[in-house]
Structure 1
Amino acid sequence: MDYDEFLSLTVASLAIGFVFASSQLYRLSIVSFSIVFSIGVLSIISHEIAHRQVARLMNCYSRYVIHPLGLLITLASSLPFVPIKFIMPGVTVIMPKTYDYLEVKRIEGVTSLAGPVTNIVIATLGFMSINLYSALTGFYSGYIYYLVYINAWIALFNLLPIPPLDGSKVFRWNPLLYLLSLSVSVGLFLTTIIY
């Protein structure tokens, strides 16, 4: 990872951390803010690194770049009166080393799915941890809940079939796999609302 990519990923992840942690400002708790901020940062870094590493495993050039307008929209969604949190400060650019249309479509689909699947796995493990923690201690962990909520939201938002989001590339490549991954992410997100 070169300095420009590191800087882009750092700025983007800090922005996303702030978007999620801004909901904690009303509590006036630096501890709550810091924990939710850290969860947001680590969740998006995991998402973007998954894209990048899967692309590199598929012998593609890939790197994370900031999208200035997307960064502004992301930061604007941290305002308390904005109900939907937009998380689109940048993109992992992938350049396949082939011109075969079907292969490019497959590479884009697989690498696009890697990020949301990473968040789905983290959210699922977090949800299982909440239940285990509650069963063992009799207490409910709100911070593990935020881990589940943030990762479920990142997966769901990115799986929307709107370009340039991941969902549009996954749908173009494999509609059935797209519907399956979208269904899982919707289920996880609804679980965080109901739970």
Structure 2
Amino acid sequence: MFERITRREEADLFVAWMAIAISFTIIKIAPYGITGPVSRLDPVVMLLYFGISLITVGIGFILHEMAHKFTAIRYGYWAEFRKDNIMLMIAIVMAALVGFVFAAPGATVIYSNTGDGRIMTREQNGIISASGPVVNLLLCIPFLIMVFLGGISFDSPTYLLRVIGIFGIQINAMIAAFNLLPISILDGRKVFAWNIPVFLVLIVASFGTLLASFYLL
């Protein structure tokens, strides 16, 4: 399976992963942007936030894109993730200025490798597009388990487990909800065009999970 991930794709995934992790680290330190209140810039705390972001964003982002890739391969296509340097820069700048991450780091580009000019059907396109958000929603389950296993008190030795769990749910729900917006080239538009009931279930589940995650704090 891993041999289907090219060297260029590995590099693009790594750069996008780092950029998104930096963006989410910034909004944890400055939730309203650098013009608003900023947390004390303790290097240890900054590294802790960055480490948590690497874990939660890395798992959510990479598995989201790999779900698109391997679902497309299952249908007989070839697919590779391609980063978008401009969008990655916008994500970091917006996180710094307004405390919001506009996470559109790139896209999984799908190619026909059959040589017969076969056109992807609406159903195939919808299922391939839905696979990413579905993976993100499924990832919320192990992170929720971490929340329940973690301590509630700041002094608890397992409190960090709870923090990672909450952040993991929020990140994955955010990735799913954003990508399910039925606009532009986002997954939601293709899922909506394929199957409206499936689209409604996924987008309600995504935004519902995102809103519910804030009650865990």
Q: TM-score range by the shorter chain?
A: 0.7 to 0.9
Other-structure match for 1:156 = 177
Give yes or no for contact 2:129–2:190 (8 Å, CA) kept in 1: yes
Greater fraction helix: 1
Other-structure match for 1:92 = 108
Q: Point out the structure with max Rg over C-alpha.
A: 2
Matched, 1:18 2:39: no
- Aligned residue pairs total 192
Deviations 1:42-69 (A, max 9, x none): 2201111111011111111111112233
Q: Measure the CA separation in 2 of the matches of 1:55 and 1:92.
A: 10
Matched, 1:56 2:73: yes
Structure 1 residue ranges without an equivalent (≥5): none
Moved more, 108-117 or 123-132: 123-132
Matched, 1:192 2:196: no
Other-structure match for 1:121 = 138
Q: Measure the CA separation in 1 of the matches of 2:12 and 2:134.
A: 22
- Look up the SS of the partner of 1:40 in the other structure: helix
Q: CA deviation at 1:134?
A: 5.2
What is the TM-score normalised by the length of structure 2? 0.79
Give the 3 Å change call, closer, same or farther, for CA 124–99 of structure 1 in structure 2.
Answer: farther
Q: Measure the CA separation in 2 of the matches of 1:104 and 1:76.
A: 37
Other-structure match for 2:12 = 8
What is the TM-score normalised by the length of structure 1? 0.87
Deviations 1:90-138 (A, max 9, x none): 000123557676x521111111111111110111331233124459x89
Identity level (%) = 29
Deviations 1:4-48 (A, max 9, x none): 211111111111111112234435212232222332122201111
Cα-Cα RMSD = 2.3
Which residue identity does 2:60 align to in structure 1? S
Partner residue of 1:82 out of 98, 109, 118: 98
Q: Measure the CA separation in 2 of the matches of 1:72 and 1:107.
A: 32
